[in-house]
Amino acid sequence: MSTPLFLHALSAFLFCMGLFVMMNRRNTILLLMGIELMLNGVNLSFVTFSRELGQLDGQLQLFFIITIAAAESAVGLSILVSVFRNFGSASTDRLKNLKG
């Protein structure tokens, strides 16, 4: 197995671990962390492709992804704070106000 393929396999593993967290855990903060894990998997893939193909665009893309991830987690965590304030818990089981 070559080094780029190993890094691609690692990035696929991180993405699928994030997917597993998103589908299994019931806590809002863990869901947000699952999203971060998936983003990190994609980032690793971008950097490996950029290195492998001799283009810097992948690394610049990562610059924008990190900025957007920071904005996303700031908004997500403030939603989490107001959920916690209104329901007294961060569990997604409590969030069924819209359920018929």
Partner 1 sequence: MVDPLILILGIIVASLAVSMALSSSPITSALSLVGLMVALGAIYGVIGAHFVAALQVLVYAGAIMVLFIFSIMLLNMNESVPEVDFRNAKTWLTGALAGGAFYALFQGFKHFESFEGRPSVGEFTLERIKELGGNLEAVSGLLFSKYFFQFEVVSLLILVAIMAALTLAKRKVD
For residues 95 and 5, give the distance between their C-alpha atoms in angstroms, rounded to a whole number. Answer: 41
Nearer to partner 1, 47 or 99 (CB): 47
Query: Footprint of partner 1 on residues 6-45 (CB under 8 A)?
Result: 6-10, 12-17, 19-21, 23-27, 29-30, 32-34, 36-37, 40, 43-44
Q: Give the whole-angstrom CA distance, residue 40 versus residue 18.
A: 9
| Three-state secondary-structure class, residue 10 | helix
Question: Cα–Cα distance between 66 and 52 in angstroms, integer?
Answer: 21
Task: Tell me which residues touch partner 1 (CB under 8 A).
Answer: 1-10, 12-17, 19-21, 23-27, 29-30, 32-34, 36-37, 40, 43-44, 47-48, 50-51, 53-57, 59-60, 62-64, 66-75, 77-82, 84, 90-91
